[in-house]
Structure 1
Amino acid sequence: MVQIEQLAARTPAVSVEELLKGFYPSPRFGEVSFDSYRPDPSQPSQANAVKLLSAFADGVGNDDGGGLFKKLFAKKAPAARAGIYLDGGFGVGKTHLLASLWHRSPGPKAFGTFVEYTNLVGALSFRKTVEALSSYKLVCIDEFELDDPGDTVLMSRLMRELADAGVKLAATSNTLPGSLGEGRFAAVDFQREIQVLADQFDVVRIDGEDFRHRGLPAAPAPLKTEELKHRMRAEFDGKTVAVDDFRTLVNHLAAVHPSRYRQLISGVEAVVWSDVETITEQAVALRFVVLADRLYDKDVPILASGVAFDKLFTEEMMTGGYTKKYFRAVSRLTALAREAQNHEPA
């Protein structure tokens, strides 16, 4: 028997403490470690990255203080710098290594994506976010993005104030498969954007073959709306399933701050969407990207009718300034749909 819920009926109230508790690696990286990372023998930079990150982890929590001024002028070994940046292509294990660093380091500590931190600032205010994170030993920022100048400046300022408070920082970049070797987000971009902090970051290059498909994976054919109930019972028996009309859900997301989407899907083991349609408004699409990320983090399979996920966003969106976000969302939603319909691991 299926336990049916509706995401559109949920309006989670989340305290500051609960928001901060959500900053940890997703279940996909919940138990990874440096030992579970398998360096490619033909790519020595991968083994070197493990060595450097391990040394950086040993320095977390052992800083003798002094703030950013001391960091700028004190002569220190690389492992003692304020931050470390993992520079590499798409799918070479950067998130695995960043999560391993988080697991290895002492707390308190935070792990989240670039978008999650900007959402945190939106929910708490900049000053309260600085106050909340300044007592942490380590802040990890996965998928650092440059597609929104305002958010980039915001994160640069946040990182600067955290470094001044003695917090260690670690970051990775967000890169499209098709961008490898063609203007890829690289160390030079990261260092330019974080400005005064740039010389306080060790850049760790991770080379390797892109193991993911170039371009979007094939999206499974959408189900017919009248098939959804039968397939839901067959695929998700005994599970808690969120069943929503797509347009109703999309409209509801505007009433829930993206920082609360993790709590929005709490306890949900699968989702069913009827009558999926192309999203045409940028603000709506960007909110939906965040929901897609949270569903993927929890590996929540999806059954849906309507348009296929490769038609979820307009062509203009898929080729515009937020291409990275939309590409990632379509890829992840497609993987979750393939998991539900074809029993393929997402």
Structure 2
Amino acid sequence: MPAASHPDAIAATPPTAPAAPIALTDRRPVVPAERLVAEMVPPPRFSDVSFGSYLPDTTQPSQYEAVRVLEEFAGTLNAGSAAPKRGWFRRSAPAPAGPAGVYLDGGYGVGKTHLLASLWHATPGPKAFGTFVELTNLVGALGFQQAVQTLSGHRLLCIDEFELDDPGDTVLVSTLLGRLVDNGVKLCATSNTLPEKLGEGRFAAADFLREIQGLSAHFRPLRIDGQDYRHRGLPDAPAPYTDEAVEAVAARTPGASLDDFDGLLAHLSAVHPSRYGAMLDDVTAVCLRGVHQVDDQSTALRLVVLADRMYDRELPVTASGVPFDQVFSEEMLRGGYRKKYLRAVSRLVALARDSSKPS
């Protein structure tokens, strides 16, 4: 009897072909409001941080001072016996004594988000953590009154990357924060000082306190100086890969996405920025062909949000085309959204470095 026909013979199993890379341009996620609320926690990159894991620059006393002040702030939050009560169809309770929050003022990469997340982790719930954009998206999804009701049940609200360049959104969030402070919610916020204004003392803090209008008396500005930790002693952006190398990385990396840069930019215009995080669900690495300089403001701002969500998820980015430190034109870097573009460059370069590390 031929071996192949023997009843105990085991048929050879053909090797399984690797799964095709994910295309982000095929994804149009729908994110219910409940998920927006449930996901108001520090991003995965900061899921386990603490004040103890923050590594201050030994040449920057303000970084040590920031840790001390925030640890004391966390102590006052832990001393409270109960979370604030919801303020709904009732007169707001008087705001508790002392500052309602802390504003972390500083440049890129000095660890403000690390410290903000450390405060969140050190504080008992209920509590919420989100970027300024995510907070405005939540208000849009829930409506203003429902957002007030939902967040008024929290002990602490942490707002990362507070933005001052959209007057409408700034007034909206300022009004929201006023209602929350009236209901006893404590606040902590971060923002960025433009590099050419770092020598002007508390310029960014003055902007922040002015824009939040009546809330200024509730915040203690806390300056954090230092160099971007992502670039301390590190080289410039790594050289781009070839298209063929990008495709090879995508093919051998389970869960990797592979897209043409132009196609992805076009797709971002059809997906609300609040859904960019969901678009990256189950993605382990991002591969892009043909990265080029972006000159359109709206396109560039969408790319900034995507860069933030990729950075939150620690997704290495393998790309061909131009290096990421050239993705925004000099004209755009001199404009009103400079702080966003510089933050995006810093983060994209860090993710590109992650992709170039030996596995």
1:324 Cα offset (Å): 0.7
2:31 corresponds to which residue? 14
Residue among 278, 293, 297 paired with 1:278: 293
Kept in 1: contact 2:106–2:223 (CA 8 A): yes
Kept in 2: contact 1:296–1:336 (CA 8 A): yes
Q: Deviations over 1:152-190 (max 9, x none)?
A: 222211211211222111112223445421476532222
Rounded Cα–Cα distance in structure 2 between residues aligned with 1:246 and 1:90 = 26
Calculate the TM-score normalised by the size of structure 2. Answer: 0.82
1:93 corresponds to which residue? 111
Larger displacement relative to structure 2 (216-225 or 18-27):
216-225
Residue among 114, 118, 134 paired with 2:152: 134
Q: Secondary structure at the match of 1:35?
A: helix
2:181 corresponds to which residue? 163
| 2:138 partner amino acid | L
Kept in 1: contact 2:158–2:187 (CA 8 A): yes
1:32 corresponds to which residue? 49
| 1:58 partner amino acid | G
Judged with a 3 Å threshold, the aligned counterparts in structure 2 of structure 1 residues 39 and 296 are, in CA distance, closer, same or farther, namely closer
Kept in 2: contact 1:177–1:212 (CA 8 A): no
1:198 corresponds to which residue? 216
Kept in 2: contact 1:123–1:257 (CA 8 A): no
1:209-228 pair list within 5 angstroms: 211=229, 213=231, 218-228=236-246
Kept in 2: contact 1:19–1:260 (CA 8 A): no
Q: Secondary structure at the match of 2:129?
A: strand
2:14 corresponds to which residue? none
Gaps in structure 1 of 5+ consecutive residues? none
Kept in 2: contact 1:173–1:185 (CA 8 A): no
Larger Rg belongs to: 2
1:10-89 pair list within 5 angstroms: 10-39=27-56, 44-60=61-77, 61-62=80-81, 70-71=94-95, 76=97, 78=98, 81-89=99-107
Calculate the TM-score normalised by the size of structure 1. Answer: 0.85
Count, aligned residues: 334
Rounded Cα–Cα distance in structure 2 between residues aligned with 1:274 and 1:208 = 34
Q: Secondary structure at the match of 2:212?
A: helix
| 2:139 partner amino acid | V
Q: Secondary structure at the match of 1:4?
A: coil
Larger displacement relative to structure 2 (182-191 or 18-27):
182-191
Superposed CA RMSD in Å reads 2.8
Match status 1:254 vs 2:269: yes
1:10 Cα offset (Å): 0.9
